[in-house]
Amino acid sequence: MKNVVPIKWVLARMYESDIVIVDCRFQLGKPDAGREAYTESHIPGAVYLDLEKDLSAPVELDGHGGRHPLPDAAVLADRLSKVGISNETRVVAYDDQGGAMASRLWWLMKYLGHEQVYVMDGGFTAWKNAGCPVSAEQKVLIPARFLATVQHNMLVEVDEVRESLGTGRFVLVDSREAPRYRGEAEPIDRVAGHIPGARNFFWAEGRGPDGTWKSAAEQAARFEGLARSQDDEIVVYCGSGVTACPNVLALGEAGFSRVKLYAGSWSDWISYAGNPIAVGEEEEPKDV
C-alpha cells in the first residue's frame, strides 16, 4: 500500500470503523488558523491535531531541538489514544498546506511503529472541489489505547550529523526553498545558509502542477543522481523538521530504503555555535 491515497479512496472508506481521519491544517505565523478552519468545516468525522500543541514539544529556551521539537513519544501516544487511535486503526491525515503538516503526522506515526497511516492527496480544498461532503460537527471522541514502539533508526541527532561531515556516511538533503538553502534569504531563522555538503531538493517539488503528489517514477526521476545506491543512508532536514517529512515520504516512494530525519533541522543546527555553515550551491558528487 502506498503512503499517499487519493480522495476517492478516503471517500469510499471514511465511515469504516477502523478509520480515523486527522485534520492537520496549520499556518506558520497564524497558530490558531488551522483549528479555526477545522471548526468551520472539515471532513465528516475528522479529528484535529495541532502542529505545535500536539505534534511538537515546547521549544527549548536554549534553542536546541529546533523550532518544532519532536513530541515525547509517551505524550504523543497518549494524545493519539484520546482522539480514538489504537494500534489497529488506519489513520488518514490531510491538510491544506501541500501535505507538509499531514506528512509530519505520517512520519510521527511511523516513528511510533504504526504502519497503517496515509496522507490524503490534494488536501482539504481538493476534497471540497471534488464535491465531497464537509461538516462543522465535531466527532464525539471515544478513547482508544495506542502503545508506541519507537523506531529510533528513523532519526538522527545533531552530533551524528556533525560527525558525519566530510566522511560520506550520510547523503544530506535540505528541503527548504533554494534562496534559503543558498543563504541569500532567511525569513525565519537567525542565520542563513545550509549544512555543508547538503543537496537542495525543495519539498514542494514533490507535487505536480495540479497540486497532487508525483508518482513513484516521477519521484525517482526527481532524486536521480542523489546517491550512488538506493541503500545509501539519506538524512533529510528543513528549517524545523516539518517540511522535511514530505521529502522523507517522497524518497521512500522513489525506492530509497534508508531515509532518516534530522528532526531539529536547521534551527537546531545553528543553535550550536561551533557548527559549520555553508552558503551558495554545492557541487554534485562525481562518480569515482
Domains and CATH numbers, the chain: 4-129 (3.40.250.10), 152-269 (3.40.250.10)
At 286 the pLDDT is 45
Q: What is the dihedral of CA 58, 154, 24, 73, to 10 degrees?
A: -50
Residue 19 has pLDDT above 60, yes or no: yes
Q: Residue 35 — very low, low, confident or very high, per pLDDT cuts 50/70/90? A: very high
| 1-30 average pLDDT score | 94
Residue 41 has pLDDT above 60, yes or no: yes
Residue 67 has pLDDT above 90, yes or no: yes
Residue 203 has pLDDT above 70, yes or no: yes
- The upper half-sphere exposure of residue 86, i.e. CA atoms within 13 Å in the direction of its Cβ, equals 9
Q: How many CB atoms lie within 10 A of CB 144?
A: 16
Q: How many CB atoms lie within 10 A of CB 146?
A: 23
- The catalytic site residues sit at 238
At 288 the pLDDT is 33
pLDDT digits over 92-107, tens only?
Answer: 999 999 999 999 999 9
pLDDT digits over 135-155, tens only?
Answer: 999 989 999 999 999 999 999
Take residue 100 and report the three cell numbers written for it. 507538509
At 4 the pLDDT is 97
Q: pTM value?
A: 0.96
What share of the chain has pLDDT > 90, as a percent? 93
Residue pair 63/271 in contact (Cβ under 8 Å)? The answer is yes
Residue 287 has pLDDT above 60, yes or no: no
Q: Residue 63 — very low, low, confident or very high, per pLDDT cuts 50/70/90? A: confident
Nearest partner of 110 among 148, 84, 78, judged by Cα: 148
Q: Residue 1 — very low, low, confident or very high, per pLDDT cuts 50/70/90? A: low
pLDDT digits over 156-175, tens only?
Answer: 999 999 999 999 999 999 99
